[in-house]
C-alpha cells in the first residue's frame, strides 16, 4: 500500500462497500501470456469474500470467447460471460442511442460479429454511420472509402481511444491510430469515442454488475483510462503497478487505492468483507 497510514481507515471503509470488481486485462491481470503476480489469488479472494467480477476491455480485435480462452491459458478462471468488451458496448450504443440499422466497419471479425449479433447490417454502401475499431485486417481501399463517407457527412464512431497496443514484438497501431489517420485526412473528429474512459462504457459495466456505482471498484494499470472511467462514473478505483504506470506517476493518478500487485489487493479484500 502506497498511501499514508492516516488513509488506511478510509480505504478499509471503501473496500467494505465493494461488491463487484471491474478488471482491466493487460498490465493488470496478465502481462503477455502470463498472469501478473497475485492475479490468481485475487480471483480466489473475490470468490471467498462473496464478491463478483467483470473483465472490462477496450480490445475488440478478438472476441470475448477468445479473451476468456487467453485468460484461462494464463491460469485465471474467466468465462466469456465474465467479459465486457468495447465491441458489445459499441453495438448497444449504435442500436439504442444512434438507432442505426446499417454500418460500415473498419474492424476485426470479432467486432463485426458483435455488431451482427445486435442485428446491425454491415455495408459499404450508404451506411448510417462508420465504425472504427482495432482493425487488425485494415485495408487501404476500405480506409479510403471510410474517409469518403465521413467527408460526405456520415456520422462516425471510434470504439476506443487507445493508440497503441503493447505486445512482446513491439507496439501495434490500435483504434486510436486508425482514427487519427481518418481525422488527419478528413479534418473530422469522431462523433463519439467509446471504450474506457467513456462514460457510456462505465454505465454499461455498472449495469452488467447488477450493483450501484459505489459498490463497484475499477482495477487497472492506467490512470487515463481505468482510474478516469471510475471517476467519471462515481466508482472507486485501484491502480496496480504491474503495468503502464510507475509508482511515481501513481501518486498523481487520483486512484482511491494504489497496490504494487494484485496479491496485496486480495489481502485487503479478505480483510474488509462487505457486511
> Rounded to an integer, what distance in angstroms lies between the CA atom of residue 83 and that of residue 74?
16
Helix H or strand E encompassing 55:
strand 52-57
CB of 166 to Mg ion, least distance (A): 9
C-beta closer to Mg ion: residue 127 or 197? 197
- Our CA angle for 17, 21, 24, nearest 5°, is 150
CB of 68 to Mg ion, least distance (A): 17
In angstroms, what CA-CA distances link 100 with 122, 134, 195, 201, 263?
11, 20, 19, 18, 44
Phi-psi region of 265 (alpha: psi -120 to 50; beta: other; left: phi over 0): alpha
User: What is the number of the residue whose Cβ is closest to Mg ion?
Assistant: 27
- Our CA angle for 123, 125, 127, nearest 5°, is 65
CB of 243 to Mg ion, least distance (A): 5
C-beta closer to Mg ion: residue 112 or 196? 196
Query: How big is the site for Mg ion, counted in residues (CB under 5 A)?
Result: 4
* Chosen residue from 40, 88, 221, 256 binding Mg ion by CB under 5 A: 221
- The grid cell for 85 is 468488451
Stretch touching Mg ion by CB under 5 A, among 84-92, 164-172, 220-228, 256-264: 220-228
Coil, strand or helix at 238? strand
C-beta closer to Mg ion: residue 155 or 160? 160
C-beta closer to Mg ion: residue 23 or 154? 23
- Using CB under 5 A as the binding rule, the residues of this chain from 138 to 197 that contact Mg ion are none
> Rounded to an integer, what distance in angstroms lies between the CA atom of residue 228 and that of residue 196?
8
> Rounded to an integer, what distance in angstroms lies between the CA atom of residue 25 and that of residue 221?
9
| Contacts with Mg ion, 12-41, as mask; x by CB under 5 A | ------------x-xx--------------
Helix axes 262-271, 8-15, angle to 10 degrees: 80
CB of 248 to Mg ion, least distance (A): 18
C-beta closer to Mg ion: residue 11 or 28? 28
Rg of the chain over all Cα atoms, to the nearest angstrom: 19
> Rounded to an integer, what distance in angstroms lies between the CA atom of residue 143 and that of residue 209?
36
C-beta closer to Mg ion: residue 28 or 63? 28
CB of 122 to Mg ion, least distance (A): 29
C-beta closer to Mg ion: residue 24 or 149? 24
CB of 6 to Mg ion, least distance (A): 29
Stretch touching Mg ion by CB under 5 A, among 115-123, 161-169, 181-189, 217-225: 217-225
CB of 174 to Mg ion, least distance (A): 12
- The grid cell for 39 is 492475479
Task: Give residues in contact with Mg ion (CB under 5 A).
Answer: 24, 26-27, 221
Amino acid at each position: 500500500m502506497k498511501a499514508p497510514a492516516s488513509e488506511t481507515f478510509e480505504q478499509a471503509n471503501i473496500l467494505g462497500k465493494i461488491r463487484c470488481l471491474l478488471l482491466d486485462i493487460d498490465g493488470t491481470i496478465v502481462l503477455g501470456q502470463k498472469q501478473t503476480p497475485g492475479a490468481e489469488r485475487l480471483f480466489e479472494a473475490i470468490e471467498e469474500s462473496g464478491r463478483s467480477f467483470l473483465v472490462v476491455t477496450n480490445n475488440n480485435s478478438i472476441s470475448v470467447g477468445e479473451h476468456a480462452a487467453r485468460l484461462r491459458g494464463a491460469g485465471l478462471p474467466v468465462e466469456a460471460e465474465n467479459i465486457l468488451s468495447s465491441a458489445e458496448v459499441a453495438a448497444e450504443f449504435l442500436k439504442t442511442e444512434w438507432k442505426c440499422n446499417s454500418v460500415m466497419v473498419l474492424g476485426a471479425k470479432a467486432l463485426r460479429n458483435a455488431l451482427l449479433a445486435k442485428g446491425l447490417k454491415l455495408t459499404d454502401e450508404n451506411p448510417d454511420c462508420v465504425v472504427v475499431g482495432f482493425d487488425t485486417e485494415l485495408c487501404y481501399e476500405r480506409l479510403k472509402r471510410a474517409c469518403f463517407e465521413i467527408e460526405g457527412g456520415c456520422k462516425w464512431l471510434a470504439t476506443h481511444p487507445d493508440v497503441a497496443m503493447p505486445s512482446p514484438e513491439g507496439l501495434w497501431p490500435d483504434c486510436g491510430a486508425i482514427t487519427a489517420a481518418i481525422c488527419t485526412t478528413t479534418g473530422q473528429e469522431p462523433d463519439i469515442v467509446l471504450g474506457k474512459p467513456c462514460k457510456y462504457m462505465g454505465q454499461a459495466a455498472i449495469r452488467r454488475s447488477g450493483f450501484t456505482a459505489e459498490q463497484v471498484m475499477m482495477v487497472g494499470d492506467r490512470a487515463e483510462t481505468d482510474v478516469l472511467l471510475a471517476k467519471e462514473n462515481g466508482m472507486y478505483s485501484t491502480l496496480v503497478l504491474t503495468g503502464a504506470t510507475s509508482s511515481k506517476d501513481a501518486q498523481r493518478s487520483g486512484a482511491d487505492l494504489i497496490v504494487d500487485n494484485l496479491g496485496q489487493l486480495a489481502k485487503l479484500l479478505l480483510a474488509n468483507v462487505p457486511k
